[in-house]
Amino acid sequence: MRRVIAWVGLAFAAVTIATWSAPETAEARATRHTARSGHHRVHHRRHRHRHHLLPVSASAPTAEIVFDAESGRVLAITNADQRVYPASLTKMMTLYLTFRALQEGWLHLNDTMQVSDYASAASPTKLGLYPGQLVTVDDLIRGCVTESANDAARVLAENLDARFGRNLQQLLRADIAQQQAEDAADALSDPPSPQDAADRAGEINEMQAIAASVMADGSEYDFARLMTLQARVLGMQDTVYRNSSGLPDMEQVTTAPDYAMLAYALIHMPIQYYSYFSVQHFDFNGADHRNHNLNFLTSYDGADGIKTGYTQSGGFNVVDTARRGNRRLVAVVMGRQSRATREEDVRTLLDQGFAQTGTVTAVSSVLVDDESIHVGSTLDFPTLQTTGVRRVTPQLPDMTRPEAPAATPTSAQRPPQRGTAPINTLRR
């Protein structure tokens, strides 16, 4: 059996090195969001195979999930197996890696990053950054959160990849090693089945292959490798990133359950980082950039984030969360036909979730093969690695901070290695 498992792992790694995680087909292997009991990540957990993972359709596909952020219990779900385009929800992962760099102390909010020609040329929505301009990390984060600025996302991606790409690569490799150690410990008390062991070996080999493909060359495309690798570490097995902004790319896909994992990870970031998603306005170079999620943030009880997104092919998406008392619910809504429908649906889903009375507890039922995530099942939340993290304590985002003086431009960065994707949208 060991020979079989080793052969499967090596074959999987060879394919992955060539493609670094191309989107799976409808007959692809299992998703990894299975039921669990308690808050421990069970790495050799029972798998449910997605024989019917749906490809992205010509019109915007729809999907949704609502879950309790404490217990992981799913309160509502539709089209769990539907691939969707994340659009500007992509920036959630760009910001997650930015926050990890801040956590580690490599990066600081008052550090400046230089704008390249490629970043400046990003299609709207944008801050209007120009080549050679120096912009603080704080302003770039605010631009991504409020205006969903594509130029700001590219600046973060290129600079993080050039300056800290190797650091992030090693950090994620350490995360993988930690998961392997946990797998080994779990296997002593609860040995996995041969199929689960082979599947897990494939997951590990895929992550290691993506890590090996990282070049740290300062390109957005290379940063997308780090984004995809981070997604895998978080358990987002059906997500592939090709850019940092969410501008249209047919290969950049995800699912609603995958974005539930990312939302969970962001919510559990230190408050000085997560609180950025509550910023309502951002003054930059004399212009007021309103948060595209402003209506929800200001009128829904307990709301404090997270992000909206839109492309013509992907429709109107949103990940929203609210806390009432000791309960925090998160809703992921994908593929709506209008802003109004998106807003109405996310409110209705959260209202219905909060209306469920009594204690919402994790269930211990196990999903069997071919059975999709359903209401009452429990998401397998990722283990968020904090071992060795050097916590930094920057000030909380100032919601009414006055605009800083504009930076003096310097020489522009080199042109990118990969051109922009076709654009079919303006607003996020």
Q: How many Cα atoms are found within 13 Å in the side-chain-facing hemisphere of 126?
A: 19
Amino acid letter for position 38: G
- Tokens encoding 413: 């960065």
Q: Which CATH number fits domain 2-355: 3.30.479.30, 3.40.50.720, 2.60.40.10, 3.40.710.10?
A: 3.40.710.10
Report pLDDT for 382. 85
pTM of the full predicted structure? 0.81
First to last CA, the chain: 50
Looking at residue 174, its pLDDT comes to 96
Determine the Cα–Cα distance for residues 215 and 55; give it in Å rounded to an integer.
30
Residue 383: pLDDT band with limits 50, 70, 90: confident
- Cβ atoms 228, 238 nearer than 8 A: no
- What b-and-e string marks burial along 314-329, b requiring 16 or more CB atoms within 10 Å of the CB? bbbbbbbbbeeeebbb
Report the run of H or E that residue 158 belongs to, with start and end: helix 150-189
- pLDDT at residue 20 in the model: 52
For 12, phi then psi, to 5°, come to: -65, -40
pLDDT tens figures, 144-167: 999 999 999 999 999 999 999 999
Please provide residue 321's backbone torsions phi and psi, each rounded to the nearest 5 degrees: -145, 155
Can you tell me the distance from the alpha carbon of 332 to that of 263, in angstroms, rounded to the nearest whole number?
A: 9
Instruction: Note the pLDDT tens digit of each residue in 83-122.
Output: 999 999 999 999 999 999 999 999 999 999 999 999 999 9
- What letters, b where the CB count within 10 A reaches 16 and e where it falls short, cover 77-99? bebbbbbbbbbbbbbbbbbbbbb
Burial class (CB in 10 A: 0-12, 13-18, 19+), 3: exposed
pLDDT for res 368: 33
Report the alpha-carbon angle 221-226-227, nearest 5.
Answer: 85
Position 122 scores a pLDDT of 98
Does residue 38 register a pLDDT over 90?
Answer: no
Q: What's the chain's length in residues? A: 428
What band does 33 get if pLDDT is binned at 50, 70 and 90?
very low
Give domain limits for the chain. 2-355
pLDDT at residue 73 greater than cutoff 80: yes
Read off the pLDDT of each residue in 40-53 and give the average, rounded to a whole number.
40
157 vs 408, residue with greater confidence: 157
**Do residues 400 and 97 make contact, with C-beta atoms less than 8 angstroms apart?**
no
